[in-house]
Amino acid sequence: MNEGLGSAGISAVRDGAAFSCRDCAADIDHCHGTLIEHRDALAECTDPQCVSLAGDRHRLVTACAELDDCGCAQPEIEYLTAS
């Protein structure tokens, strides 16, 4: 049975191989989720148990423009008016 890192994050089994998180083993404050940075300077994390949105706590950081389903990543439309 495969297990995720869960809240403890100490070890997991994937495809029959056991592994552990280096940051968990070193007792480093970190998050296993991906930090998504939005155009309006807000951020969110994919891990529902995340306690801080600081970029240095996340190994994976991406801009929402890299995602297909983020509404704020859409280019702004500039409307021109006739004069």
Give the global pTM: 0.63
Asked which of 10-14, 39-43, 50-54, 74-78 is least confident by mean pLDDT, the reply is 10-14
| Radius of gyration of the chain, Cα coordinates, nearest whole angstrom | 18
* Strand boundaries in 1-83, DSSP class E: 11-14, 17-20, 31-37, 43-45, 58-63
Number of domains in the chain: 1
pLDDT at position 10 is 42
Does 76 reside within a domain?
no
| 30 lies in some domain | yes
Specify the residue for token string 């801080």: 52
What residue numbers bound the domain in which 32 lies?
11-68
Give tens-digit pLDDT for 26-38: 999 999 999 999 9
In tens, the pLDDT along 52-63 reads 999 999 999 999
- In a domain, residue 73? The reply is no
Does some domain include residue 63?
Answer: yes
Assess if residue 44 is contained within a domain: yes
Hey, how many other C-beta atoms are within 10 angstroms of the C-beta on 54? Answer: 13
Cα angle 39-71-73, degrees, rounded to a multiple of 5? 40
d(CA 53, CA 51): 7
User: Is residue 2 in some structural domain?
Assistant: no
Mean pLDDT for the chain overall:
77
